Amino acid sequence: KDDDDGESGVAVKTRTRTKRPPLYKVLLLNDDFTPMEFVVHILERFFGMSHAQAFEIMLTVHKRGVAVVGVFSHEIAETKVTQVMDFARRHQHPLQCTMEKE
Ligand code: TYC
């Protein structure tokens, strides 16, 4: 858009920079106690994965210690983390779920 520079009356091109909101990775952490089936259930229930997909990601976390289970806006990522942590706590499993800026 052309903006007058206010002094000389010269039009100056001003570019409007539109920043996309940052995205956040939701991470699931391994532990020695949470049952595998429980983790699979969480991935199906809160992350919309198929059983096969959920099983695969669960095994990745089990073997490597951590995996990204989804990428979301800040608010959605926060909701996912809260849902997983609350559900795990209610079932008395030590499962940990966190988020980090992509
Ligand atoms: N390591 C757990 C077990 O052997 C399974 C597990 C997988 C736990 C993924 C947490 O995020 C996790 N029962």
CA dihedral for 78, 82, 85, 87, sign (positive or negative): negative
Q: Is the CB of 93 under 6 A from ligand 1?
A: no
ipTM score above 0.85: yes
Higher confidence at residue 10 or residue 31?
A: 31
Quick one: pLDDT at residue 39?
Answer: 99
Instruction: List alpha helices for the chain, DSSP H.
Output: 36-47, 51-64, 74-90
Return d(Cα 80, Cα 58) in angstroms, integer: 16
Q: Is the CB of 58 under 6 A from ligand 1?
A: yes
| pLDDT tens per residue, range 41-89 | 999 999 999 999 999 999 999 999 999 999 999 999 999 999 999 999 9
Whether residue 25 has pLDDT greater than 70: yes
Quick one: pLDDT at residue 46?
Answer: 98
Q: Is the CB of 95 under 6 A from ligand 1?
A: yes
Report the nearest-CA residue for atom 7 of ligand 1.
62
Q: Is the CB of 57 under 6 A from ligand 1?
A: no
What mean pLDDT, rounded, does the chain reach? 93
